[in-house]
Structure 1
Amino acid sequence: MTTNVSTGLFYSRSTASMQKLQAQFDRLNEQVSTGKKLLAPSDDSVGYQRLQVINRANADGVQDAANVTLAQASLQQAGSTLSQMTERLQRASELVLQGKNGTNSDTAKAAIATELEGILQSIVTLANAKDARGMPMFGGKDIGAAVTPGAAGALGFAEGKAAAMPLGDGQRVEVTVNAKEFLATKDGADLGSAITAMVAALRAGEALPEDAADTLGTVADQVVATQASLGAREVRVDLFAAQLKTAADDREVLRAGIEDADPTETIVQLQKTMTILQATQASFSKLSSLSLFDYLR
C-alpha cells in the first residue's frame, strides 16, 4: 500500500514538474520568436493596462503627426506662393518707374502697360491657387475663389477666413490668409484697380496716377509682411512637430520596457530551462525503472 502511494506520488510530482518546465520552455521560446515578453494580459495586468494607454497615445500621435505634416506643407506652399507674388510686384514697381519717364515712346508705354496687365493676371492666378488640402490657399470661409476680377479691374475677395487647422493637444494654426489682407489696402483700394488705372494712363499717354503707384507699394509691403507672419507660424508648427517626435520616442522607450523581451537574457533563460527539462526527463526515465512495476516483476 505504501509502495503504491509512493509510486503514484512520484509520477504525479515528476509529471507536474516536467509540464511546468515544458510550459516555461514554450513561453520563453515564444518570447524569443516574437521579441515580446508580455504575451497576454495575465502576464502583467498593470503593465498591460499601461501598454493600452501607450498604444492609444501612439494612435493619437500618428493622427497629430499627419495634421502637422499637412500644416507644414500648406504653410510652405503659401510662403512660396507669396515669394512669387513679391517677385512680380518688384517687377511691377520697376515698370512703374519706367512708365514715369517722360521720354517713353507710345510703343514703350504700350509694352509697359501690357506687361503690367500680365503681372496682375499672374498674381490673381497665384492668389487663387489651392493648398495641400485642395482648399483655396488665400480664400475665405468657403471653397469659392479667393480673388475675382471685377469692373474697372477692381478685385473681389472671398468673405471671412478659413478655419484653423488642428495640430493636436488642443492646438490649432491658421495656415491660410484671406487675400484681401495683402492685396487690398485699408482705404479700400486694391492691386487690381491700381494696376488697371496705371495701364489706362499709359495707353492714354497720361501721367501715372500717384495714388495707384502708392497702392502698389503698399500691397508689396503687405505681401512681405504676410509672408513673414506665415513663416512665424511655420516655425511654431515645426516646434510642435519636434515635441510630437520627442513624445513618441519617450513612449517607445516606455513601451519597450513593458512589452519587449531582452534577447540575450531570454535566450539564456531558454537554454537554462531546456537543460533543466532535459535533466528532469532523463532522471524521470531512469528512476521510473525502479518503480512498483519492476518491484512486482
Structure 2
Amino acid sequence: MRVTQGMLTNNMLRNLSSSYDSLGKYMEQLSTGKKINRPSDDPVVAMKGMNYRTQVTNSEQFERNIGEVHNWMDNSDDALDKTQKALERLRELAVQGANGTYEEGQRGNMAAEVDQLKEHILDIANTEVNNKYIFNGTNTTGVDGDKPFDIDADGNFQNAINNQDVNIEVSEGTKLRVNVRPDDVFNEELFTDLSNFAEELRTGTDDDAISAYIGEIDDHINNNVDTRADLGARQNRIDLIENRVLEQGVSAKDMMSKNEDADIEKVIMNLTSQESIHRAALSAGSRIIQPTLLDFLR
C-alpha cells in the first residue's frame, strides 16, 4: 500500500488529538482531585461511588437524628430531675404537716407551698424543646395550640394527654423511643393528690390523714425514679449506637475517598510524562510535513 503525504498528516493529527485528550484528562484530575468527573470515564467507579455516597449520606442523617435524640432525652432527664427535687420537698412538707405541733396557720403556709410546687411540676410537664412539648407523646404541638397539661382547681385534667411513643431511626432498621410516657410521671393522680394534700393542710386537723400523703408522695417519687432509670438505660444505648454510626460514617468516607479521589502524585507523573510525549509528537510531526515551494524561495 502506498503511503501518501495526506495519510501521514492525518495520522499525525489524530495522534496529536489523542495526546491532547490525555493531557486534558490529567489536567482535569489534577484540578478536581477526582479519578473520574463523569460516569463515562469509568462506569464501575461511578457506580461504586453512588453506593458509597449513599452510605455517607445515610450516616450523616443518622448522626443528625442521634443529635435530636440526645436533645430530647437530655431535656427529659433534666425535667425529671427537677420533678424529683419537687417531690422530695413535698414529702418533707408531708412529714412536717403530720407533726401535731404545727398550728393551723403554719399548715396553711405549707399548703401554699404545696400549691406552688404543684404549679412548678405542671410547668415541667409542659416543657417545650424547639417548640415541641416533650411530655405529650406524638402530639408535640399541644391541644389546639394550647399547653397539653391544663388542670382545674381539683387537679383534674382539662385535655386528653397523648401517651404514644415517639420513635426516631438512629441506624439502619433501628428505631429508639425518645420520649417519656406522660402517664408514667405526670398523671392525673399526681395532681389530684397534690390538690387534696394542700386542701388537707388548710382545713384538716387529723395528723394521720396528712401522714397518709407521705406514702402517696413516695409512690410518685418511685414512679419518677423508675422512669429516669428507663430513660437512662436508653441514653446508654444511644451512646453505643452513636459510636457505631460514627465509625460507619468514617469507614464509608474512607472507602468513597479510595474509590473516587485521584492519587495526586501519580497524576502529576502521568501529566509530566504525557507532556514529554506530546512534545515529541509535535517535533516528529513537523518533520513529516514535506517542504513546500515557499521554503525554497526564502
Q: What TM-score, normalized by structure 2, do the two folds share?
A: 0.86
Deviation at 1:117, TM superposition (A): 0.9
Q: Percent identity?
A: 22
Count matched residues.
Answer: 288
Residue number in structure 1 paired with 2:176: 173
Per mean C-alpha deviation after superposition, the further-off stretch among 76-85 and 11-20 is 11-20
Q: In the alignment, residue 167 of structure 2 is paired with which amino acid?
A: A
Asked if 1:72 corresponds to 2:70, the answer is: yes
Secondary structure (helix, strand or coil) at the match of 1:147 reads coil
Mapped pair 1:216 → 2:217: yes
Q: Judge which range, 95-104 or 73-82, deviates more.
A: 95-104
- Separation in 2 of the partners of 1:162 and 1:231? 17
Contact 2:136 2:161 in 1 (8 A): yes
State the secondary structure of the residue aligned to 1:209. helix
Offset, 1:255: 1.1
- Distance change >3 Å, CA 159–CA 41, structure 1 → 2: closer
Asked whether the equivalents of residues 152 and 193 of structure 1 are also in contact (C-alpha less than 8 Å), the reply is: yes
- Alpha-carbon shift at residue 293 of structure 1 (Å): 3.2
Q: Which TM-score applies when normalising by structure 1?
A: 0.86
Q: Distance in 1 between matches of 2:153 and 2:95?
A: 26
Say whether the 8 Å CA contact 2:86–2:121 is kept in structure 1: yes
The equivalent of 1:81 in structure 2 is 79
> Could you say which residue in structure 2 is the equivalent of 1:62?
60
Q: Is the 2:190–2:220 Cα contact (8 Å) retained in structure 1?
A: yes
Question: 1:272–1:190: structure 2 CA closer, same or farther, 3 Å change rule?
Answer: same
C-alpha change, 1:113 and 1:48, in structure 2 (3 Å) is same
Q: Aligned partners of 1:294, 1:277: CA distance in 2, in Å?
A: 28
2:292 and 2:240 mapped to 1: Cα distance? 78
- C-alpha change, 1:74 and 1:141, in structure 2 (3 Å) is closer
The one-letter code matched in structure 2 to 1:221 is N
Identify if the C-alpha distance between structure 1 residues 164 and 222 changes in structure 2 by more than 3 Å, giving closer, same or farther: same
Say what the alpha-carbon RMSD is for the aligned residues. Answer: 2.6
Using the TM superposition, give the Cα deviation of residue 200 of structure 1 relative to its aligned residue in structure 2, in angstroms.
Answer: 1.8
Counterpart-to-counterpart distance in 1, 2:295 and 2:91: 117
Equivalent residue number for residue 134 of structure 2: 137
Rounded to whole Å, the distance in 2 between the matches of 1:15 and 1:183 is 84
Q: CA 1:296/1:108 → structure 2, altered by over 3 Å: closer, same or farther?
A: closer
Deviation, 1:77, is 0.9
Mean alpha-carbon deviation: is it higher for 172-181 or for 72-81? 172-181
Deviation, structure 1 residue 65:
2.6
For the residues of structure 2 that align with 1:274 and 1:193, how far apart are their CA atoms? 87
| Residue 152 (structure 1) aligned with residue 154 (structure 2) | yes
The offset of 1:220, in angstroms, is 1.0
259-268 or 91-100: bigger deviation: 91-100
Q: Which runs of 5+ in 1 are unaligned?
A: none
Q: For the residues of structure 2 that align with 1:151 and 1:88, how far apart are their CA atoms? A: 19
Which structure carries more relative contact order (alpha carbon 8 Å, separation 6+)? 2
CA shift, 1:32, in A, is 0.6
Shift of 1:205: 5.0
Which ranges in structure 2 are unaligned for 5 or more consecutive residues? none
* Counterpart amino acid of residue 74 in structure 1: W
For 2:119 and 2:133, the matched residues in 1 are separated by: 17
What is the CA-CA distance between 1:51 and the residue it aligns to? Answer: 1.1
- The runs of at least 4 consecutive aligned structure 1 residues that moved more than 6 Å come to none
Shift of 1:35: 0.5
Partner of 2:170, secondary structure, is strand
